[in-house]
Amino acid sequence: AQSVAQPEDQVNVAEGNPLTVKCTYSVSGNPYLFWYVQYPNRGLQFLLKYITGDNLVKGSYGFEAEFNKSQTSFHLKKPSALVSDSALYFCASPAGTGANNLFFGTGTRLTVIP
């Protein structure tokens, strides 16, 4: 079975500080991993994805994610948080080998404090 887990329901960070939103994965074979963000009353917006290659993936709005095979993690990072980054963040992976639909984590609510 393919799955991802987000160990933190809530992350608070001060504006201007670096932020990290954690994700671990359990995927057989080559992992494909995604990050999406959801603002209030909005659908999910794609941030970035890892397929293969560089372990550091750069995405939209200054976000990046680090793929770590030994720790089976794919943490989302940003060097300097903005108040406007406050939202719900989801990690995702294909639901199964050969599947195109995504299995989403439970989400992490990020609050950036001014």
Partner 1 sequence: EAGVAQSPRYKIIEKRQSVAFWCNPISGHATLYWYQQILGQGPKLLIQFQNNGVVDDSQLPKDRFSAERLKGVDSTLKIQPAKLEDSAVYLCASSLPGLAGRADTQYFGPGTRLTVL
- Residues that bind partner 1 in the complex, under the rule CB under 8 A: 32, 34, 36, 41-46, 49, 51, 90, 92-95, 97-102, 104-107
Give me the least distance between CB of 45 and partner 1, in Å please.
7
Report how many helices (DSSP H) and strands (DSSP E) the chain contains, helices first: 0, 12
Give me the least distance between CB of 86 and partner 1, in Å please.
17
> Minimal CA–CA distance to 22: which of 102, 110, 87?
110
Give me the least distance between CB of 98 and partner 1, in Å please.
4
Closer to partner 1 by Cβ: residue 17 or 111 = 111
Ramachandran region of residue 51, left (φ > 0), alpha (ψ -120 to 50) or beta?
alpha
